[in-house]
Structure 1
Amino acid sequence: MEKFDEFVATIAALRSENGCPWDRKQTHESLKECLVEETGEVLEAIDKKDDANLCEELGDVLLQVVMHAQIAAEEGRFTIEDVINGVNEKMIRRHPHVFGDIKVSSVEEGLDLWEQIKQKEKEAKSGK
């Protein structure tokens, strides 16, 4: 995690007062196209079975995630830690067959369970 923290600090420095003018100027909206482009490049690397390029492109997607989280942190909305905690909690919550007492015997049962939990979460968020 030390390298991840170092990377987050790098992005914060790039967006700081003495950082890069381009990075400081970016917003969630201005980065949308970059995120789509980088995601497409990940898919292309997967299709080509090009591990070296896949590794690089996954880094570029990670850059997008950290950049968006940094922008949100600067605005007092959420942090990269919030993003990580949220997705980790979701993975644990949606895998009770791994982290709880529920048993599944097939991929299909696991996917059905995932969808059931996801639906309950959506209903709870919407107040239904």
Structure 2
Amino acid sequence: MKEFDALVKVVSILRKKCPWDKKQTHKTLKPYMLEETNEAIEAIDSGDPKKLCEELGDQLLHIVMHAEMAKEKGTFTIKDIIEVIRAKMIRRHPHVFGDLKTKKISEIYKRWEKIKKIEKYANKKGIDLMKLGARNMKKLWEEINQNER
């Protein structure tokens, strides 16, 4: 999307040319990120769509800023963030993208929690979630159950 790419370009320029933006780190932006989250919550509560749009834009700016800082250090990029969340949403929605055949919200929620538990376990074991297929998830779930006995 050209608007998104334009925002990424603006943030890249800010990181190079604005003294304040240039000196920011993930840690120095933490209080501002929290402040913007609270402002987004207030906008939701107000019911004002224009205000919500503005506050969500501020949150998006933070995400792009953190991605730009990470790109500068060679740790990850905005594309990595997008791919990670895309894969996570597919993984956590087997009732949409997989073989789970249910429309019951209670079953969907139980599966969501189960998948989160598997992801947490996989992270502890150093398993790349991007390569975690359905078979591997099933094996990890069996491991979790064995360890809990």
Does 2:117 align with 1:123?
A: no
Q: Can you give the 5+ residue segments of structure 1 that lack an aligned partner in the other structure?
A: none
The code of the aligned residue for 2:6 comes to E
Partner residue in 2 for 1:110: 108
Match of 1:102, SS? Answer: coil
Deviates more, 1:68-77 or 1:103-112: 103-112
Aligned equivalents of 1:77, 1:105: Cα separation in 2:
39
Q: Can you give the 5+ residue segments of structure 2 that lack an aligned partner in the other structure?
A: 126-143, 145-149
Tell me the TM-score normalized by structure 1.
0.95
Give identity over the alignment, percent.
Answer: 53
> What root-mean-square deviation, in Å, do the aligned CA atoms of Structure 1 and Structure 2 show?
1.0
Q: Structure 1 stretches (4+) deviating beyond 4 angstroms? A: none
Cα offset, 1:105, TM superposition: 2.6
Does 2:12 align with 1:12?
A: yes
Aligned length: 126
The code of the aligned residue for 2:24 comes to Q
Match of 1:88, SS? Answer: helix
Partner residue in 1 for 2:60: 62
The code of the aligned residue for 2:62 comes to Q
- Greater Rg over alpha carbons, structure: 2
The code of the aligned residue for 1:12 comes to S
The code of the aligned residue for 2:66 comes to H
Partner residue in 2 for 1:21: 19
Q: Structure 2 matches for 1:48-59, cutoff 5 A?
A: 48-59=46-57
Partner residue in 2 for 1:34: 32
